[in-house]
Amino acid sequence: MSEKFEVSGTVIKLFDTKIISDKFSVREFVVRIEEDTEYPQSICLQAAGKRVPLLDDVAAGDVVAISFNLRGREYTGGARHFCNLDAWKIEVVQPGERSRDGEDVPF
């Protein structure tokens, strides 16, 4: 699949990095999409492998533009299928507010 997906929104949560193996890690984050202001959507994306550092300069409250790939896989036995939104480019469009000590300001 060569189609490029993009979305913009506000980061509402960043999860800790999960170490899958000594050569692979993944970090998930949630972005609120407010294109339809009556029903904003919160979607979970991930940065995997060498792309995990893309989230180092991102904080809750930042408005970001994300380019990502849609990935799907079958769970063992074929009873379920999963999809991942794998971010490969993250740009902070507008930084969120931060407190003086560098911690994120809660919503």
pLDDT one-digit tens code per residue, 60-82: 999 999 999 998 888 777 778 88
What is the reported pLDDT for 100? 47
Per-residue tokens: 91 = 């740009």
> Left (φ > 0), alpha (ψ -120 to 50) or beta: where does 78 sit?
left
What is the reported pLDDT for 66? 97
What is the reported pLDDT for 102? 54
Which neighbouring-strand residues pair with 49? none
11-53 pLDDT per residue, tens: 999 999 999 999 999 999 999 998 767 888 999 999 999 999 9
